[in-house]
Chains A and B, each alone.
Chain A
Amino acid sequence: MCFLGFGSYFCYDNPAALQTQVQGDMKVDTTTFMALYAWYSWPNVILCFFGGFLIDRVFGIRWGTIIFSIFVCIGQVIFALGALFNAFWLMELGRFVFGIGGESLAVAQNTYAVSWFKGKELNLVFGLQLSMARIGSTVNMNVMGLIYSRVQEMLRSTGYTTLGVTLMIGGVTCIFSLICALVLAYLDRRAEKILCKEQGKTGEVIKLTDVKDFSLSLWLIFIICVCYYVAVFPFIGLGKVFFIEKFKFSSKEASAINSIVYIISAPMSPAFGFLVDKLGRNITWVLCAVVTTLASCIMLAFTFWNPWIAMCLMGVAYSLLACALWPMVAFVVPDHQLGTAYGFMQSIQNLGLAIIAIAAGMILDSRGYLFLEVFFSACMCYMGQVILKPLSVTGGDLNLSSRKREKLQKLAAAEAENQEKLRCQNEDDLAKLQPQNEFSLRNRYLSRLGAQLPGNYAACHLSALAHKSVLK
């Protein structure tokens, strides 16, 4: 499951890893180059909401995942073809198609995670997914340049052909992701058969208007997500110059310290995920993360202390937040709305990021880094105060310790099991009415006759009897 997102994260940052090459080969300036990212992110403000909705309503999670993976593949191929044919507009189109798949795939991944791991190691799984994503982009950053120079040696020419071939090679990761999606779908089907659970047949179907009925806690979670991501990512995006000018770092050091947040989050988020799984109390953890981030923001803004301290703190806080925050959605949303809820969360996160990235740029242009940091700190403060407090009140079992949560879950699980049994039985009853194979007909006939049937032929297992192989 974790590899599902690998391809899309790997290819998402392809342009950044090959920026000089792309700009040189395609002969475009930086602004035009940045359009490659804009084409990815702007449509996603809306698209991944619909992506999530489609997963819930139309495709189901398995087909949804497969379809979105296919989109990712096709997008990357178009992107590479654009480079091969030296057509920049084709590259932009490729990024757009890639974007249709990319973010929705992330939504699908989250939904999968919840449907498989809810009540078990959900936080850990989210942590693992995050670290996989980070590894994806890190590998990309380091590998793509190498591949490019190899291809260049092989073809003995520079130019757009080399770029196209390199991107095609990058596209292999997308195929890999697609294969993962297929395997997942197979596994999910099997699991469903074995565990006798079925999706989408609960009778409740999500409508788009359900969005307005999302609970207050869910909205608060959304707002936290937006506020936090908005305060951390734009800063990282704009941070390099800050470290060079304020702390007199060299260009290389500045890049290194700027990426430390991601590097830390790769190993830390599974660890924290495990911790949060064991201890529960998600809200407390989120609060911790927010306070830590606030501290590091203040440190960066008001002191000349070594920024490595602040940035490492921020990395730790970020990984803690990511693996404590995302799984919270699963606790406050009914299962059939999960895809939509995650889609919506991703949508407004994208929207927030897109708007704040512009706003942060403007603030920086007119008022500088100090003001920016103060602004972000204020964001954090209000988030901590105004939002987390009501959330801990209204959030119900969000902040339970894992032991309490387990108890509740056992209760719920027992109830669900009962219902499930009932449902299974009903189905069996229904099955009795359906035309049956000769084996079961013979059984019924025998039992009517009053002949003794082996004990394991008990009524509850009758549906299993439909599969002859089980008997052998």
Chain B
Amino acid sequence: MPGSSGGCLSVLCLLGSFYLLAGDPGGCCRKVSLQYNPGLNSSSVNLLHVRAVGCNNTLHYVWSSIGAPTALLVYTDSESSALRVNWTKLLSPSPAGAIVVEPAGSVLYSTAVVFSRVFEYNGANTSDLTAVHEDNFYPTYDLADFSWESVNRTLNETALSATFQGVSVSDPKGAFRNGSISFRVTAYEESSRDTLLPRLLHTANSSKVEFIVNRVAPRGNGSRFALEIITVEEKGGRKTLESLRSINDEYTPTIFEVAQLVSDARNDSAGPSFLQWKATAYSSQNAMREDSYHCRYYPLQTANRTLPRLSIAHAYFGEALASQHSVAAINISFGSEDNEAYEEKGYLSWSALIGFGTPPKDTFSPLVMAIMVVALGTPVVLLVAGSFVVLLVQKKRLEEMAAKDHLA
């Protein structure tokens, strides 16, 4: 049936081209450069500046472990905007104004994400953070009190990645003797998809951060971890928590849910900012499907939230941060009753995208489309064609009979 196969092919081509068009929401490519502690000749503190220059705009990501690990995101509409850090001020007790992006007029939008605390609790009975009894919580790890290794060592200019690795300073039980908590940061120059699970689709306007708990000794049986994230929005701005459920788990097998924190829509070219993650974490460095931990998030808390007293967010947004900016916090817990306990593998990694613009969204891959069209479409085509042929034959027969009658 040449007609139907031709039809299938054309439909496929159409779908394919649509896919290609839709597949690149990130716009143009960017030129990304990493800078470690710009203007400081020491590696006792960590500040990583990621500068991503695109057409007519520049994105600045400032990652730092001074105080609580923080990502500062600044969108400027100039290709030459630059970051200035006043180190003496930054390392003083009142760091307000120590970090600025110049020229100040080019800054369209800035926001910050602070990774403030890690909870550890006994999740043997329930993994639901809100249902866990207070007694089942172990003392919280305050990430601002961690001591962080030099990022310079882990800086990779070609992969555009760096790792902030820290251990708890007050560690009476020796949980961090062999282990650490780290944040691995990756910047992107263009849109594409990670090769490792959870294979997040990223744009040139976003970066990835991985939260990794590696060989930190659990403080009891059935230990689970949870991460507290605090976001800072400019005056009047607000972040909303969205959950997107899709039928498509092609890229991240068994995971059907994407969660994202998105700021209000904007009129300028910056667009909203987002923090996006898939509802999964992994218990292995070479993540496989069966290493998947169920990842659960809790409602956004906006009332009376404050930032940790130490964070570069203070240095950028200034002292008025608490009063003039809106601060929201979210908890994310890893592992459920069905998953193996943390102590079995002693490893946990969770990835999130952070960036500007509309959050990327997965679409069906051409392969699935092709199979669906060919496997499920062909029977339908055959059915229609078959009934058509039957109709034709019957009509012919009727005509012949009519002709015979006529002759008779």
Give residues 345-372 of A contacting B (CB, 8 Å).
Answer: 364-371
Q: How far is the CA of A302 from the CA of B338 in the complex (A)?
A: 25
- Contact of A246 with B253 in the complex, beta carbons under 8 Å: no
What 0/1 readout, one digit per residue, does chain A (225-260) give for beta carbons within 8 Å of chain B?
000000000000000111011100001000000000
- Contact of A244 with B376 in the complex, beta carbons under 8 Å: no
Closest A residue, CB atoms, query B337: A251
Partner of A367, one of B253, B279, B375: B253
Is B252 an interface residue, CB under 8 A from the partner?
A: yes
Q: Report A-chain residues with C-beta under 8 Å of the C-beta of B294.
A: 244-245
Give residues 180-233 of A contacting B (CB, 8 Å).
Answer: none
Closest B residue, CB atoms, query A252: B337
- Contact of A370 with B247 in the complex, beta carbons under 8 Å: yes
Is B257 an interface residue, CB under 8 A from the partner?
A: yes
Q: How far is the CA of A369 from the CA of B251 in the complex (A)?
A: 10
Give residues 243-278 of B contacting A (CB, 8 Å).
Answer: 245, 247-257
Is B368 an interface residue, CB under 8 A from the partner?
A: yes
Closest B residue, CB atoms, query A251: B338
Contact (A245, B250) CB under 8 Å given A364-B289, A370-B368, A374-B375: no
Q: How far is the CB of B178 from chain A (nearest CB, A)?
A: 22
What 0/1 readout, one digit per residue, does chain B (342-373) give for beta carbons within 8 Å of chain A?
00000000000000000000000001100110
Is A157 an interface residue, CB under 8 A from the partner?
A: no
Q: Report B-chain residues with C-beta under 8 Å of the C-beta of A366.
A: 253
Q: Report B-chain residues with C-beta under 8 Å of the C-beta of A331.
A: none
- Contact of B382 with A385 in the complex, beta carbons under 8 Å: yes
Give residues 8-36 of B contacting A (CB, 8 Å).
Answer: none
Q: How far is the CA of A23 from the CA of B378 in the complex (A)?
A: 48
Q: How far is the CB of B173 from chain A (nearest CB, A)?
A: 27
Q: Report B-chain residues with C-beta under 8 Å of the C-beta of A242.
A: 254
Is B379 an interface residue, CB under 8 A from the partner?
A: yes
Partner of A378, one of B252, B253, B336, B376: B376
Is A384 an interface residue, CB under 8 A from the partner?
A: yes
- Contact of B247 with A245 in the complex, beta carbons under 8 Å: no
Is A452 an interface residue, CB under 8 A from the partner?
A: no
Q: Report A-chain residues with C-beta under 8 Å of the C-beta of B254.
A: 241-242, 245, 364, 368-369
Is A445 an interface residue, CB under 8 A from the partner?
A: no
Q: How far is the CB of B111 from chain A (nearest CB, A)?
A: 30
Q: How far is the CA of A301 from the CA of B337 in the complex (A)?
A: 25
Is B391 an interface residue, CB under 8 A from the partner?
A: no
Partner of A385, one of B338, B368, B379: B379
Closest A residue, CB atoms, query B248: A370
Contact (A303, B247) CB under 8 Å given A364-B289, A377-B376: yes
Give residues 140-180 of A contacting B (CB, 8 Å).
Answer: none
Q: How far is the CB of B332 from chain A (nearest CB, A)?
A: 16
Closest A residue, CB atoms, query B250: A368
Q: How far is the CA of A302 from the CA of B367 in the complex (A)?
A: 16
- Contact of A382 with B375 in the complex, beta carbons under 8 Å: yes
Is A381 an interface residue, CB under 8 A from the partner?
A: yes
- Contact of B379 with A371 in the complex, beta carbons under 8 Å: no
Q: Find the residue from A251, A304, A374, A384 having the highest chain B CB count within 10 A.
A: A374
Q: Report A-chain residues with C-beta under 8 Å of the C-beta of B367.
A: 371
Is A375 an interface residue, CB under 8 A from the partner?
A: yes
Partner of B256, one of A245, A303, A365, A385: A245
Q: Report B-chain residues with C-beta under 8 Å of the C-beta of A240.
A: 338
Is B288 an interface residue, CB under 8 A from the partner?
A: yes
- Contact of B252 with A368 in the complex, beta carbons under 8 Å: yes
Closest B residue, CB atoms, query A301: B247
Q: Report A-chain residues with C-beta under 8 Å of the C-beta of B372.
A: 374
Q: How far is the CA of A251 from the CA of B249 in the complex (A)?
A: 20
Q: How far is the CA of A382 from the CA of B248 in the complex (A)?
A: 23
Q: Report B-chain residues with C-beta under 8 Å of the C-beta of A298.
A: 376
Closest A residue, CB atoms, query B374: A378
- Contact of B368 with A246 in the complex, beta carbons under 8 Å: no
Q: How far is the CB of B113 from chain A (nearest CB, A)?
A: 26
- Contact of A375 with B371 in the complex, beta carbons under 8 Å: yes
Partner of B251, one of A364, A368, A381, A385: A368
- Contact of B255 with A245 in the complex, beta carbons under 8 Å: yes
Q: How far is the CB of A81 from chain B (nearest CB, A)?
A: 30
Q: Report A-chain residues with C-beta under 8 Å of the C-beta of B251.
A: 368
Q: How far is the CA of A240 from the CA of B292 in the complex (A)?
A: 14
Closest B residue, CB atoms, query A373: B247
Q: How far is the CA of A385 from the CA of B256 in the complex (A)?
A: 32
Partner of B379, one of A241, A369, A374, A384: A384
Q: How far is the CA of A340 from the CA of B53 in the complex (A)?
A: 72
- Contact of A369 with B371 in the complex, beta carbons under 8 Å: no
- Contact of A245 with B257 in the complex, beta carbons under 8 Å: yes
Q: How far is the CA of A240 from the CA of B339 in the complex (A)?
A: 12
Q: How far is the CA of A200 from the CA of B103 in the complex (A)?
A: 99
What 0/1 readout, one digit per residue, does chain B (184-201) give for beta carbons within 8 Å of chain A?
000000000000000000
Q: Report B-chain residues with C-beta under 8 Å of the C-beta of A374.
A: 368, 371-372, 375
- Contact of A377 with B255 in the complex, beta carbons under 8 Å: no
Q: Report B-chain residues with C-beta under 8 Å of the C-beta of A244.
A: 294, 336, 338
Q: Report B-chain residues with C-beta under 8 Å of the C-beta of A245.
A: 249, 254-257, 279, 294
- Contact of B249 with A368 in the complex, beta carbons under 8 Å: yes
- Contact of A369 with B376 in the complex, beta carbons under 8 Å: no
Contact (A381, B338) CB under 8 Å given A364-B254, A366-B253, A370-B368: no
Q: How far is the CB of B117 from chain A (nearest CB, A)?
A: 27
Q: How far is the CA of A69 from the CA of B375 in the complex (A)?
A: 44
Q: How far is the CB of B253 from chain A (nearest CB, A)?
A: 4
Q: Find the residue from A301, A367, A375 having the highest chain B CB count within 10 A.
A: A367
Q: How far is the CA of A249 from the CA of B289 in the complex (A)?
A: 19
Q: How far is the CB of B381 from chain A (nearest CB, A)?
A: 11
- Contact of B368 with A365 in the complex, beta carbons under 8 Å: no
- Contact of A365 with B375 in the complex, beta carbons under 8 Å: no
Q: Report A-chain residues with C-beta under 8 Å of the C-beta of B336.
A: 244, 251
- Contact of B375 with A381 in the complex, beta carbons under 8 Å: yes
Q: Report A-chain residues with C-beta under 8 Å of the C-beta of B249.
A: 245-246, 368-370
- Contact of B375 with A377 in the complex, beta carbons under 8 Å: yes
Q: How far is the CA of A245 from the CA of B281 in the complex (A)?
A: 13
What 0/1 readout, one digit per residue, does chain B (282-316) give for beta carbons within 8 Å of chain A?
00000011101010000000000000000000000
29 A-B pairs in the complex with CB atoms less than 8 angstroms apart? A241-B292, A245-B254, A245-B255, A245-B257, A245-B279, A246-B247, A246-B249, A298-B376, A301-B247, A302-B247, A303-B247, A304-B247, A364-B254, A365-B288, A365-B289, A365-B290, A368-B248, A368-B253, A368-B254, A368-B255, A369-B253, A374-B372, A375-B371, A378-B371, A381-B375, A381-B376, A381-B379, A384-B379, A385-B379
Contacts A244-B336, A377-B376 aside, 16 further interface pairs with beta carbons under 8 A come to: A242-B254, A245-B254, A246-B256, A251-B337, A251-B338, A298-B376, A364-B253, A365-B253, A367-B250, A367-B253, A368-B255, A370-B249, A370-B250, A374-B368, A374-B372, A384-B379
Which 8 A/B pairs are nearest by Cβ-Cβ distance? A378-B375, A368-B249, A368-B253, A246-B256, A365-B289, A251-B338, A368-B250, A241-B254
